[in-house]
Amino acid sequence: MSLPRKRLPAAERRESILAAAAEVFGTHGYAAATTDAIAQRAGISQALAIRTFGSKEALFIATAERVVDRVAEAFRAAIAGAGDRERMEPRLGEAYVRLAEDRGSLVTLLHLFTLGHDPAIGPVAREGFLRIYTILRDEAGLPAARATAFLANGMLVSTIFGLELPTQADDVAVSELLQAAFRENTALVLELFG
């Protein structure tokens, strides 16, 4: 049982651990997630998961930064793909929701943003949040009110995932809410949760 797994170069191993970590941190949050669960999902021993990043905290920070980077990339791609500056929000919105294909990412983000009090993670959280806001302002060209409203809807979207509300889409109030929050992406979201 569980004999030595296939050897991977460090960079690939890191990446596979980060993907597993996003899922587990997204489901359980920073404190409740165990490094053992992350290691199991990555198919390696717990010791290796820790040694690769040095500590659980460092692993979480790396995971969080990877998620923020992905959001930034997705928004930049959406901005570059937009011919004009009109109807920017729907494009950005779809890009955001598609990140949910990466299981755990969006909820990991939500967890990150609850950790402002933590001396090591708090600064990372604030920096990541402001980086995203700044992209909306300066690169997408949204005025403050629209950037904030978009961000607010993004937090609601992540909250809906965190609540696992899409599993109750048969409830009439829930389906109305999902429709209002996700608009043209509602079907996509329900598919991801089928």
Residues that bind DNA (CB under 7 A): 1-10, 13, 33-36, 43-48, 50-51, 55-57
3-state DSSP assignment of residue 87? coil
Which one of 47, 57, 114, 120 is in contact with a second copy (CB under 8 A)?
Answer: 114
Can you tell me the distance from the alpha carbon of 107 to that of 23, in angstroms, rounded to the nearest whole number? 9
Only one residue has tokens 């793909």, namely 81
Residue 152's binding partner out of DNA, a second copy, none, with CB under 5 to 8 Å set by partner kind: a second copy
Query: For a second copy, which is the closer residue by CB, 82 or 151?
Result: 151
Helical spans, DSSP H, in the chain:
10-32, 35-42, 46-53, 56-81, 88-98, 105-112, 121-134, 144-163, 172-182, 186-193
Residue 151's binding partner out of DNA, a second copy, none, with CB under 5 to 8 Å set by partner kind: a second copy
User: Residue 55, interface with a second copy (CB under 8 A)?
Assistant: no
The amino acid present at 65, given as its one-letter code, is E
Q: Which stretch binds a second copy (CB under 8 A): 10-18, 50-58, 65-73, 163-171?
A: 163-171
Can you tell me the distance from the alpha carbon of 106 to that of 156, in angstroms, rounded to the nearest whole number? 11
Can you tell me the distance from the alpha carbon of 29 to that of 16, in angstroms, rounded to the nearest whole number? 19
User: Residue 156, interface with a second copy (CB under 8 A)?
Assistant: yes
Q: Return residues touching a second copy (CB under 8 A).
A: 27-32, 107, 110-111, 113-117, 122, 125-126, 129-130, 133-134, 137, 144-145, 147-149, 151-153, 155-156, 159, 162-165, 168, 171, 173-174, 176-177, 179-181
